[in-house]
Chains A and B, each alone.
Chain A
Amino acid sequence: MIDFTALTAALHLLTSSWQPWMVVIPGILIGLLVHAVPGLTTSMALAICLPLIPYMDFLQALIFMTAMYAGSVFGVAIPAILLNVPGSAAAVGTTFDGFPMARAGKHNEALGLALAASCFGQLVVYLLLLGLAGPIGAFALKLGPPEMLVLSIWGLTLIGTLRGRHISRGLLAGAFGLLLGTVGLSARGVPRGTFGLDLLLDGIPVVPAIVGLFAAAELFNLVGKEYIVEDLTQRRVQASRILAGMRQAFEYPGVLFRGAILGSGIGIIPGGHAIANLLSYSSARRAAKDPEKFGTGDPRGIVAAESANASSEGGSMATLLALGIPTGGATAVMLVAFSMHNITGGPSFMRDHADMVYAVILSSLAQVAVLAVVGFAFIFVAGFVVKVRLRMLVPTVLSLAVIGSFALAHNIAGPITLAVFAVIGWIMQRFDYPVSATVVGLLLGRRTEGDLLRTYQMSGGHFNFMFTRPIALLMLFLLAASMLFPYLKSGRARSAANKKVMAH
């Protein structure tokens, strides 16, 4: 699978000059910084840096962009853990256990866990790409609407696991989110639930809504308190505890590997990057012996979400390099950078510039080590957020979120959405509804509707159409198995316990 001639040429490209490496640290730092501000995204940062691309040679430009991408993939975890602010959909899963850990004074460990899981996820996916970039890209072409529908359903099963103490409230919150996700123009081109407002024709701006539901609502709860971490002794930022968190991530090798492999697979699908963290979180929770601990500050939740999030980035790169198809905003901007150097991504790129493809993969592997060091230093500084008084932090974060949401939506729909969902989120928390179930519904609503509709149109309404899609069938089987496995396991444990009692 590996073209050793091209690999040797790639090594020569990377080692013959120090210039391509000059951009790695600035790239990673920009990526990390971008997500410190709610509302700024990776694609925005890449787009802002596009004017620099013509001044770099192609390899340097590619390394610069992948470094930014690598930094931002981990960067989203920092506000998600410290402030419950998921800067993008890719960090939603990280908030579930990250913020409870931070509130319990384990912010050092939580950030360390996220960094280690992120580095591990990136390492795994780029090692996979080194041998399988071509086949992975070709596999992406086999995935159509039915397979995407199964993935969406897989994501929706998370609502069931996030239902909280009251099943009916949890499921109602999820259904509410799903419907909110379908507000706006339909496939027929008719507006639904827009109150006649043009601002809502594109739907409810998702990231401002998530920031409102999660972050703003949580910040309201913190209003009467002095600091995020109430215990003074726990408020310290300690390198040793960050390192302990990094080590702790490797105490869950199964969760790490499952997340990394799931993320690599899901990342190759358009839009998959956003849901990889949720699917991995959901799988880890289902596979756990004590799933009730998830959502209360369980390290496995962070590890699962972050390893999948990081590896899905490499999956996106596979589709970009092998097929020339962007799977998200960031890879779309990268494609623009390709064109600035008169290069088109896709099979011809893989064939004619195999050395360049290997150089990108090898440099990305090296970037993992740089990210571990730069990310460690960055979170050491970012961790000081817990030392800022909440009366200073709350208005600062809320103002940034309002301005950021304007920038994201390009109009006032962003700030209005944020404010409305902040109030709804707080009320939902007050009445014990799991806000995360609404967020999952909101994230997947439009996507599920689109996939369902396309599958329906392809099948002509015949259910047996699914039997002509072996990959979709296999995915459905895996989904069913992963859902039934915990019940079978607990049933077997119960019957074993009963036998023991009978024997005595």
Chain B
Amino acid sequence: MINVAGRKIAVDMPHFIFATGVAGWVAWFCWDAWHASSSIENLILIVPVSAVAIILYFFVAASCFQRIAESAELPASPRHPLAPGVGVKIAGSMALLIALVVAGPLVGFDVACFFYMLAMLAFLGERRIPVLLLVPPLFCVVVIYCFNTLLSTPLPLFFGERG
């Protein structure tokens, strides 16, 4: 909550930051396109759509600020709260997905996938040892073999020929 000229204003800060991030990217993209070439062939769609997006951003940003009466309580969050522990699980799942994408080309998708499957299974609550021992290697062998046999683009691998 912020105070402006003695008025209490509730701010949905996470949403405001996200919307500003989107608007910032739109403005940067428009500038980058203009900078690359200011010809109509280059900007025929980008400039009008960017202008509309920026106007819409102001409406969205304004909705993040809500004036509240002096005596009133702070309004409840506009979003339904996550169940306890779920936020950590979602953040962990995102981090592991990013780790898989980063590690894949570095160590090979076979090894990265194996560790990703193992880590995700354990992280999401799988405690049966046979499952943890069997599923990741089996998955990696079958999937990587199929993809590498069928597709013309070889995956970067640790074992076998590297793409």
Contact = CB atoms under 8 A, between A and B. Distances in A.
B52 interface: yes
Interface in B4-42: 14-15, 18-19, 22, 25-26, 28-29, 32-33, 36-37, 39-42
Contacts of A399: 100, 113, 116-117, 139, 143
Contacts of A175: 26, 49-50, 52-53, 56
A220 B121 contact: no
Nearest to B82: A224
B129 interface: no
Given A403-B113, A406-B153, A426 B41 contact: no
B97 interface: yes
A191 B36 contact: yes
B151 A193 contact: no
Contacts of A411: 153
B28 to A, nearest CB: 8
B29 A216 contact: no
A104 interface: no
A400 interface: yes
Interface string A305-328: 000000000000000000000000
B57 interface: yes
Nearest to B91: A220
A17 to B, nearest CB: 31
B155 A403 contact: yes
A81 B139 CA distance: 23
A418 B94 CA distance: 11
Given A175-B53, A188-B39, A399-B139, A182 B45 contact: yes
B52 to A, nearest CB: 5
Contact of A192 (B33, B86, B153): B33
A430 B113 CA distance: 28
Most buried by B among A48, A172, A216, A448: A172
B86 A223 contact: yes
Interface string A152-168: 00000000000000101
A223 B90 contact: yes
Given A192-B33, A391-B125, A394-B120, A402 B101 contact: yes
A461 to B, nearest CB: 9
**Most chain B C-beta atoms within 10 Å of own C-beta, residue among A47, A221, A223, A452:** A223
Chain B interface SS verdict (over half): helix
Given A190-B36, A192-B36, A224-B83, A168 B89 contact: no
B159 interface: no
Q: Which of B32, B56, B104, B105 has the most CB of A within 10 A?
A: B56
A407 B147 contact: yes
Contacts of A176: 22, 25-26, 53
A415 B29 contact: no
B107 interface: no
Interface string B77-116: 0110001011001100110011011001100010001001
A91 interface: no
Contacts of A430: 79
Contacts of A415: 100-101, 104
A398 interface: yes
Nearest to A399: B113
Contacts of A192: 29, 32-33, 36, 42, 46
B60 interface: yes
A236 to B, nearest CB: 24
Residue among A400, A407, A448 with the most chain B CB within 10 A? A407
A233 B130 CA distance: 28
A496 interface: no
Contact of B41 (A168, A188, A193): A188
Contacts of B117: 395-396, 399
B15 A431 contact: yes
B93 A190 contact: no
Contact of A406 (B28, B98, B104): B104
Interface string A183-206: 100111011110000000000000
Given A178-B49, A179-B26, A412-B105, A187 B155 contact: no
A179 B42 contact: no
Contacts of B139: 396, 399
Contacts of A44: 150-151
A168 B151 contact: no
Nearest to A175: B53
A171 B153 CA distance: 38
B48 to A, nearest CB: 10
Interface string B117-149: 100110011100001000100010001100100
A423 B40 CA distance: 34
B101 A418 contact: yes
5 contacts: A187-B42, A223-B124, A224-B89, A430-B79, A449-B44
Given A394-B120, A432-B79, 12 more contacts: A175-B49, A179-B53, A223-B93, A402-B113, A403-B147, A410-B153, A415-B101, A419-B97, A422-B94, A430-B79, A431-B15, A432-B78
Interface of A: 44, 47-48, 166, 168-169, 171-172, 175-176, 178-179, 182-183, 186-188, 190-193, 216, 219-221, 223-224, 390-392, 394-396, 398-400, 402-404, 406-407, 410-412, 415-416, 418-419, 422-423, 426-427, 430-432, 445, 448-449, 452-453, 456
Q: Which 8 A-B pairs have the closest CB atoms?
A: A395-B120, A391-B124, A168-B59, A175-B53, A190-B36, A224-B86, A192-B33, A172-B56
